[in-house]
Amino acid sequence: QVQLVQSGAEVKKPGASVKVSCMASGYTFTSYYMHWVRQAPGQGLEWMGIINPSTGTTSYAQKFQGRVSMTGDTSTTTVYMELSSLRSEDTAVYYCARHIPAGGGGSWFDPWGQGTLVTVSS
């Protein structure tokens, strides 16, 4: 079955960087784009960007431009999201989610990883 397994929780100091991994299994890794979405404590979902694991092409939400980097490793079927210059407001659960395109238009996210809690605190 399709599975996305993410790395464990992280605690970082303000100004540091964090790199979260998402290992995919159960499907052809290079055939589906991957999204990253975050959720601050008690808050809603926020889209961060998307990566094409086959080519490495990325597209980031404007809010994260210059601070986020998404990469992929086809040999380990793993995508990574690195966020730099961390501040307290970046404390959140970070999710990866597979992009499913529909032939006739439309797309959605399915499935989602289990989430990785990143805590930014001095």
Partner 1 sequence: QSVLTQPPSASGTPGQRVTISCSGSSSNIGSNTVNWYQQLPGTAPKLLIYSNNQRPSGVPDRFSGSKSGTSASLAISGLQSKDEADYYCAAWDDSLNAWVFGRGTKLTVL
Of these, 10, 46, 73, 82, which contacts partner 1 (CB under 8 A)? 46
Q: Are 46 and 38 in contact (CB under 8 A)?
A: yes
From the list 11-19, 24-32, 71-79, 97-105, the region that binds partner 1 by CB under 8 A is: 97-105
The smaller minimum CB distance to partner 1, of residues 11 and 40, is found at 40
Q: Nearer Cβ to partner 1, position 55 or 65? A: 65
- Residue 1 β-bridge partners: none
Does residue 73 interact with partner 1 by CB under 8 A? no
What span, in angstroms and rounded, lies between the C-alpha atoms of 9 and 94? 10
Q: CA-CA distances (angstroms) from residue 82 to 1, 66, 68, 72?
A: 27, 11, 6, 11
Q: Kindly list the residues in this chain that would bind partner 1 in the complex (CB under 8 A).
A: 35, 37, 43-47, 59, 61-62, 95, 97, 100, 102, 105-115
